[in-house]
Structure 1
Amino acid sequence: MKEKNDKLVYQHFLDESFEDLYEHAPCGYFSSLPDGTIVKLNTTLAQWLGYHKTEILHQKRFQELLPIGGKIFYETHHAPLIRMQGSVNELSYDLVSKSGALLPVLINSSHVTDAEGKVVLYRSTLVNISDRKKYEAELLQAKKKAEQAAKTKAEFLSTVSHEIRTPMNAIIGVANLLQATDPSPRQLEYLRILKLSSENLLNLINDILDFNKIESGKISLEERPFNIRELLQHLIYNLLPKAEEKEITLTHEIDARLPSFLLGDPVKLIQVLTNLIGNAIKFTHTGSVTLRVQAIEVTSKDVVLEFKVSDTGIGIAADKIHKIFEEFSQADYEINLKYGGTGLGLAISKKLLALYNATLQVESELGKGSSFSFALKLPISDFQPESQQLVDLPHSHPGSLRGIKLLLAEDNSVNIFILSQYLKSWEVAFDVAEDGSEAIEKIRQHTYDLVLMDLQMPKLNGYDATRMVRNLPDEKFKKLPIIALSASSKFDLQQRLDYAGITDFIGKPFNPRDLYNKIALYSTATPQQAGNTSGSFSVETSILPPTDPSWHVNLNEFRKLTRHDTTQLTELIRLSIENFTSFQQNFKEALYTRDILLFEEVAHKSKMTLRSLEATRLSQLLDRATDLLQSGEQDTSMLAVASREISQEIDVIITELIAQIPDQPGNIS
């Protein structure tokens, strides 16, 4: 008898424990009927909401504890989902407490059925995520602050870069001009030191800017065809003078099995190899520097290449090797004092190779030299780009640009002087405008083959001046090549350049050869046409034949979808405008980075909307731009034109959609 009583007491104790656990658990619990009426809840949930249990039990449905958005979600997603699969997990809701405050929770629910399988009850568990939301808000705020700090740093570096590059343009430009004036041997030595110091300072600026772009995630890989052999030969040719100055040998050994054309990012590959070979030359006093490129594995689709730069230089001590890849640091303090530099070259190279999932390896022995190597797997391309016959060595062909007439829009007197000397030596006829307004007036009054447009000018800057030129009524102003001149980085300005309608870009300090080639490429009177100022421009101004549709969108399909209801039509138009705004930015980014996957993904997303709106012109532009990307188009001006035309067409569509938003609620006829 006593044993039976003990069992009853024990069972009663367990029941009380389970009940206490249910009532005061750290989670909220409730049970509800299929219509949402709450028939049981624990004390924890009641306290969270600020209600007495009797105010909720059999008095409120779960939906009544939700704000309007939560109610819609419950009816459209929560209820159908639990009916279909019997349970739902971790749905996020805000519950409305008695005081009106919102309580963020995660809900897990499952149904209970009777013997016939009919749902009779829902049981739900709630987790209070107020602290999580608070932490998320704090993290978001911290993220915004970090992003703002990074943006401020990037803007500061861009500004400082511009301010330093402007006087550097004058120093390097005048040094180049003085070399052509038959200086004495002593003057030549002074000029050599001046140019070397200026170029070192410019390299330092470029290293800091490159590192900042990588750190801020603004650099990504391109994939386009390039001739690997030609690329390596040009690299060695450009670095050979530095090696000859130090009387060391610079050689390269290229595996005969290398395919001619590969798919990849030649600019970043050259940047890495230039850093490695430049360092090797810098730290080698006698002996040689060698670049070896070996095909480790070759298939019909791709090739694995090993790049190795070896030297007979000063080498690196074993206990110092780990330091050379750190930002702003070198192997030791004495090396920094003796050789200078930012200590960023290897750090930048390592980060660029990381984009390819490649690792930079080093082998070195103090006093005996170093060897840096990395392996890349690159797809093989059968694409054969047409080579553009650009002219070389501008000073060796004085007068070869005779017959070209251009406008130089520049406000800096030193820059005007330097540019004028080169233009005169090439026998280019030119006028000068010292601000944007004067440039527009001269373009209206005279016929030019192209315009060199400084971006930072008083009264009216180069961007606004270019936009105003493009909006002039005569079609020739839309075709006029306008080349930007700026001490800022092209990467930082790309969107503004595209929006303004600028054809191409030359950075300051400029390379005379680059300037010469740009003028030859974009002018009507090329070296083969000297003296002839007639004919059409060599620049593509449109990626499609001109059309003049009376409308760009048709809302008939939208009206059918919304059954002529004004409110729903307005909402659909607003959603379409938001989507087009997003598409516009994505298309610009994809074309600038040559990211065909991103472009095709966004184009696919927009296809249904374009078909519904009968936006034929935009569809054709997207198809043409896709063809350009798939063909490996090398001409950046063509992609810039595509970006500009797509953006302009989207602007027109958005304008028409805004104009057709109904003014009054109700039905439309």
Structure 2
Amino acid sequence: MQGSADTEQGTEPSEDSAEELYENAPCGYLSTSPDGRIIKVNQTFLTWTGYSRETLLGGKRFWELLTVAGRIFHETHYAPLLQMQGFVHELSLDLVCADGRQLPALINSVQKRDASGRPRSVRTTLFNMTDRKRYERELLLSRRKAEQLAQAKAALLATLSHEIRNPLNAITAATRLLGMTPLSDKQSKYLRILGSASGNLLALVNDILDWSKIEAGKLSLEQREFSLRELLGDILNGQAARAEEKRLLLQMEIDERLPARLLGDPVKLGQILTNLVSNALKFTEKGGVKVSVALRARDGDACDLSFQVSDTGIGIPPDRLSAIFEEYAQANYDIGMKYGGTGLGLSISRKLVALHGSKMVVESEVGRGTCFSFDLRLKSGAGGTAAGAAPSSESSPRALRGLKVLVVEDNEVNTYVLARWFEHWGISFDAVKNGREAVERLHQGGYELVLMDLHMPVLDGYDALKVIRQLPDERLRQIPIIAISASTRAWQESKVLASGFTDFIGKPFDEGVLFSKMARCTSREAPAAPAQPPEAAPRAPGSAADSLVLAPDFSFTKLRQWAAGDAQASAALARSSIQTLEQARPALTAALKQGARDEYERACEGITGTLHLLEAHGLAAALRRARALLTGNAPDSTRMQAAVFAIDWEVENLAGALVAIASEAGA
């Protein structure tokens, strides 16, 4: 009996302890009958909800404790799931407490059955989600604040860039204008320093703006038709002077199977390749840099392209390969001190490649060089005008003579710079300082084009555009308006155009690009030289008749600007251009004689950058006329011979003039 008593006394504390654990568990417990009536509940649940045990056990059903939305969910999801599978895991429902407040809870329920398999009860465990909901709200609030901060930072940088780029535009444009005047050797040297410093500053501003925009998630890909050969040609021509200065070989290798036109975002692709080429030239002292594009596969109109930019530079240690893609970081401190830079170029390029759905890969060996590569899938374009032929609006530097333009710009320095270019091009113009004055001046008439800054006092460019597009005069509603902005970058061009502007150009602008856009928007086209009559036999170059029919039309202004007044750089560009033209001439001639349009297009695209650099409008016109012979039936031999002669004539004139430039530097 004593043992029995001891056993009973020994088990009693254990039973009390289990009951106490049940009552004061960190989660709520309740049991319900098959019809939902609450038959058991622990103290934790009572404490959370404020109900008394008597109230809940007096006939309350579980669903009666739920909100209206919770009751609907209980009927449509909770009860059917419980009946079908015998359990419900982690459902989120809100309970209505005794004082009317709502308690978010995470619910797990298990159905208990008797020996015959009939439902006997339902045991439910509830977790108080109040703290979790509060954390979620705080996280959401923090996220919104972070997004607002990123937007505010982007807006601040855009505003600062506008203030920086406006005077920078004046500096770079004035530098170009000054380079067109007679200068002493010392002045030319100072001008090169000024041009280099302003270019570095512009690159710094652009890098910071690009990174800010990427960080804010505001970048998206556009789809437009472009020539990859032309894009690469422009990039390499832009870097040619720097390569020559360091005595580096700059090469381009393009797969011959590559389509003439592709669909993609040439601005962002160009930015990727420009960053990689510029970076390779910066860290290479001997050897050269090579840009390669290979067509790996083609599936219908989709082309899988492989891009590589390799150099023979200093290389990157294996343990620093991942660090070079970090923002504001370089391989090591000494490199940053020696070569300079923001450390943003590669990071921007990697993110732009990721935006295309691809990945940047780097392979490097210290002292032997580095290779950056990435793959892209682009669709082939419909075709259209080949890259080798300049637009007809660019066929003569006199195409804009007599054009009347209204300039809407609140910065007097920028207006002055535009005035100098307009004077050079033979354009008459008036200038106003805000959008309201622009609307008033347009009514006074006679303007064929408007150049409008986007950020101005009183009435900005966007609002002024809306007013102009709603004017009763049909001619004014349709007038071409080109947006000019220091804070709007090229990747925002689609936004500007969607607002109703005819075209867009960013500051600091390239005068050649401005000229081209103005000519295109006003449909200005200089008359092409008349084709040689079919019955006329080719004559020897130099005759008076030939000089009238095939007068050379080119300019080396852009070549000298890109060389920044450096005679050695001008000579290097001249020699490179001669080599490109001489290599292309036999390919062009053979394609014409064989009637091979594709080969002809490919040869034209190969000299696109050279045509742009030399402003070779005469050669571009000859190439267009020859192309027209390949579009229809087989041309007669006389006309084809005349077309070949015209191309040879233009190439000979260009080469002769380029030899003179190369000779000036003692080449």
The two structures have a TM-score, normalised by structure 2, of 0.69
Aligned-pair distance for 1:509?
0.9
Q: Which residue number corresponds to residue 362 of structure 2?
A: 361
Question: What is the letter of the counterpart of residue 410 of structure 1?
Answer: E
Contact 1:390-1:517 within 8 A present in 2 as well: no
- Inter-partner Cα distance in structure 1 for 2:497 and 2:4: 89
Say which is worse superposed, 239-248 or 168-177, in terms of deviation.
Answer: 239-248
- Inter-partner Cα distance in structure 1 for 2:525 and 2:78: 69
Q: Which residue number corresponds to residue 54 of structure 1?
A: 54
Structure 1 pair 417–100 and aligned structure 2 pair: CA distance change class (3 A): same
Aligned-pair distance for 1:241?
2.6
Q: Which residue number corresponds to residue 436 of structure 1?
A: 435
Structure 1 pair 8–234 and aligned structure 2 pair: CA distance change class (3 A): same
* Cα offsets for 1:530-551 (capped at 9, x unmatched): xxxxxxxxxxxxxxxxxxxxxx
User: What SS is found at the alignment partner of 1:468?
Assistant: helix
Contact 1:400-1:427 within 8 A present in 2 as well: no
Structure 1 pair 375–416 and aligned structure 2 pair: CA distance change class (3 A): closer
Question: What is the letter of the counterpart of residue 349 of structure 2?
Answer: S
Q: Which residue number corresponds to residue 561 of structure 1?
A: none
Say which is worse superposed, 332-341 or 311-320, in terms of deviation.
Answer: 311-320
- Inter-partner Cα distance in structure 1 for 2:238 and 2:392: 13
**Unaligned regions of 5+ residues in structure 1, if any?**
530-669
Say which is worse superposed, 124-133 or 141-150, in terms of deviation.
Answer: 141-150
Q: How does 1:260-271 map to 2 (within 5 A)?
A: 260-262=260-262, 264-271=264-271
User: What SS is found at the alignment partner of 2:29?
Assistant: strand
Question: What is the letter of the counterpart of residue 200 of structure 1?
Answer: N
Q: How does 1:407-556 map to 2 (within 5 A)?
A: 407-490=406-489, 497=496, 500-527=499-526
- Inter-partner Cα distance in structure 2 for 1:266 and 1:359: 18
Question: What is the letter of the counterpart of residue 480 of structure 2?
Answer: P
Aligned-pair distance for 1:488?
0.6
Contact 1:402-1:527 within 8 A present in 2 as well: no
Q: Which residue number corresponds to residue 194 of structure 2?
A: 194
- Inter-partner Cα distance in structure 2 for 1:197 and 1:328: 20
Q: Which residue number corresponds to residue 141 of structure 2?
A: 141
Structure 1 pair 483–118 and aligned structure 2 pair: CA distance change class (3 A): farther
Say which is worse superposed, 300-309 or 466-475, in terms of deviation.
Answer: 300-309
- Inter-partner Cα distance in structure 2 for 1:310 and 1:495: 33
Q: Which residue number corresponds to residue 547 of structure 1?
A: none
Aligned-pair distance for 1:207?
1.0
Aligned-pair distance for 1:301?
6.8
- Inter-partner Cα distance in structure 2 for 1:159 and 1:432: 24
Q: Which residue number corresponds to residue 172 of structure 1?
A: 172
Q: Which residue number corresponds to residue 204 of structure 2?
A: 204
Structure 1 pair 93–408 and aligned structure 2 pair: CA distance change class (3 A): same
Alignment of 1:92 with 2:95, yes or no, is no
Q: Which residue number corresponds to residue 70 of structure 2?
A: 70
* Cα offsets for 1:156-191 (capped at 9, x unmatched): 222221111010011011111122233334333322
Q: Which residue number corresponds to residue 131 of structure 1?
A: 131
Structure 1 pair 392–490 and aligned structure 2 pair: CA distance change class (3 A): farther
- Inter-partner Cα distance in structure 2 for 1:132 and 1:86: 28
Contact 1:304-1:375 within 8 A present in 2 as well: no
Q: Which residue number corresponds to residue 660 of structure 2?
A: none
Q: Which residue number corresponds to residue 273 of structure 2?
A: 273
* Cα offsets for 1:74-109 (capped at 9, x unmatched): 455545655666554322222222233332111233
Structure 1 pair 109–259 and aligned structure 2 pair: CA distance change class (3 A): same
Q: Which residue number corresponds to residue 215 of structure 2?
A: 215
Question: What is the letter of the counterpart of residue 53 of structure 2?
Answer: K
Structure 1 pair 109–387 and aligned structure 2 pair: CA distance change class (3 A): farther
Contact 1:259-1:380 within 8 A present in 2 as well: no
User: What SS is found at the alignment partner of 2:190?
Assistant: helix
Question: What is the letter of the counterpart of residue 409 of structure 1?
Answer: V
Q: Which residue number corresponds to residue 340 of structure 1?
A: 340
**Unaligned regions of 5+ residues in structure 2, if any?**
529-667
Contact 2:264-2:379 within 8 A present in 1 as well: no
Q: Which residue number corresponds to residue 291 of structure 2?
A: 291
The two structures have a TM-score, normalised by structure 1, of 0.69
Q: Which residue number corresponds to residue 399 of structure 1?
A: 398
User: What SS is found at the alignment partner of 2:293?
Assistant: strand
Structure 1 pair 267–321 and aligned structure 2 pair: CA distance change class (3 A): same
Q: Which residue number corresponds to residue 328 of structure 1?
A: 328
User: What SS is found at the alignment partner of 1:324?
Assistant: helix
Question: What is the letter of the counterpart of residue 201 of structure 1?
Answer: L
Instruction: Give identity over the alignment, percent.
Output: 47
Q: How does 1:237-252 map to 2 (within 5 A)?
A: 237-252=237-252
- Inter-partner Cα distance in structure 1 for 2:477 and 2:336: 52
Structure 1 pair 488–382 and aligned structure 2 pair: CA distance change class (3 A): closer
Contact 2:360-2:374 within 8 A present in 1 as well: yes
Q: Which residue number corresponds to residue 556 of structure 2?
A: none
- Inter-partner Cα distance in structure 2 for 1:5 and 1:261: 98
Q: Which residue number corresponds to residue 661 of structure 2?
A: none
- Inter-partner Cα distance in structure 2 for 1:378 and 1:270: 15
Question: What is the letter of the counterpart of residue 135 of structure 2?
Answer: Y
User: What SS is found at the alignment partner of 2:380?
Assistant: coil
Structure 1 pair 433–327 and aligned structure 2 pair: CA distance change class (3 A): same
Structure 1 pair 471–86 and aligned structure 2 pair: CA distance change class (3 A): farther
Question: What is the letter of the counterpart of residue 325 of structure 1?
Answer: F
Question: What is the letter of the counterpart of residue 416 of structure 1?
Answer: T
Contact 2:254-2:294 within 8 A present in 1 as well: yes
**Total equivalences in the alignment:** 526
Structure 1 pair 289–393 and aligned structure 2 pair: CA distance change class (3 A): farther
Question: What is the letter of the counterpart of residue 357 of structure 1?
Answer: S
Alignment of 1:39 with 2:39, yes or no, is yes
- Inter-partner Cα distance in structure 2 for 1:174 and 1:312: 37
Say which is worse superposed, 377-386 or 139-148, in terms of deviation.
Answer: 377-386
Contact 1:110-1:124 within 8 A present in 2 as well: yes
Q: Which residue number corresponds to residue 659 of structure 2?
A: none
Aligned-pair distance for 1:443?
2.0
- Inter-partner Cα distance in structure 1 for 2:471 and 2:430: 20
Question: What is the letter of the counterpart of residue 28 of structure 1?
Answer: G
Q: Which residue number corresponds to residue 611 of structure 1?
A: none
* Cα offsets for 1:228-270 (capped at 9, x unmatched): 3333233223322322333332112223344545554433332
Contact 1:264-1:378 within 8 A present in 2 as well: no
Structure 1 pair 223–414 and aligned structure 2 pair: CA distance change class (3 A): closer
Question: What is the letter of the counterpart of residue 483 of structure 2?
Answer: A
Structure 1 pair 140–310 and aligned structure 2 pair: CA distance change class (3 A): same
* Cα offsets for 1:294-318 (capped at 9, x unmatched): 4455666755544333334444566
Q: Which residue number corresponds to residue 29 of structure 2?
A: 29
Aligned-pair distance for 1:386?
5.1
Structure 1 pair 510–228 and aligned structure 2 pair: CA distance change class (3 A): closer
Question: What is the letter of the counterpart of residue 402 of structure 1?
Answer: R
Q: CA RMSD of the aligned region, Å? A: 3.7
Structure 1 pair 447–110 and aligned structure 2 pair: CA distance change class (3 A): farther
Structure 1 pair 284–113 and aligned structure 2 pair: CA distance change class (3 A): closer
Aligned-pair distance for 1:415?
0.8
Structure 1 pair 336–303 and aligned structure 2 pair: CA distance change class (3 A): same
Structure 1 pair 81–383 and aligned structure 2 pair: CA distance change class (3 A): farther
Say which is worse superposed, 172-181 or 235-244, in terms of deviation.
Answer: 235-244
Question: What is the letter of the counterpart of residue 147 of structure 2?
Answer: E
Q: Which residue number corresponds to residue 106 of structure 2?
A: 106
Structure 1 pair 322–265 and aligned structure 2 pair: CA distance change class (3 A): same
Aligned-pair distance for 1:10?
9.5
